[in-house]
Amino acid sequence: MEKTLVLLKPSCVERNLIGEVVGRIERRGLIICGMKMMMLDEKILREHYAHLADKPFFPILAQSMMASPVVALCLKGIDVVNVFREMTGVTNGRKAQPGTLRGDFCVSGSLNIIHASDSVENAEIEINRFFKPEEIFDYTPANMKFIYEVDEL
């Protein structure tokens, strides 16, 4: 089943929103198969945000991502990369639809509380960046038969 990488950014952790976000992930029916708190450093952020390294805002972004620990999550589900990107909302919190995590919990274009992988290919790279293989747990939740119909699996 597909997996995606989620980071609860310092703007989530510091604003005491971990439970709100994790609660919504659980209530939606997405499977949490990896979860840990970690402090990011410049090296991992240069890799993770390589597509933004030339942007003028990169130093501020990197600092904001090192302001406190983050919570890294690996989620599992059918089409979970897209499902969770839709739950996250667009990058700028001021433009994110109400009902999305960004649209409900932030109003910044930078301090937008969550990172979510944007493709299946990037999800695989990002899961390997933030988790060791033994930190990912491929269990099947007991309520699985009430989350997906048999013909979806």
Would you please indicate which residues are annotated as catalytic (active-site) residues?
115
Question: Count of alpha carbons within 13 Å of 148, Cβ hemisphere only?
Answer: 15
Pairing of strands 3-8, 70-76: antiparallel
- The residue from 24, 67, 68, 110 that contacts ligand IDP (CB under 6 A) is 110
Q: CB-wise, 79 or 138, nearer to ligand IDP?
A: 79
In the complex, which residue's CB is closest to Mg ion? Answer: 118
- The residue from 46, 57, 79, 137 that contacts ligand IDP (CB under 6 A) is 57
Task: Report in angstroms how near the CB of residue 42 gets to ligand IDP at its nearest.
Answer: 15
| Interacting residues with ligand IDP (CB under 6 A) | 52, 57, 61, 91, 109-110, 112, 115, 118
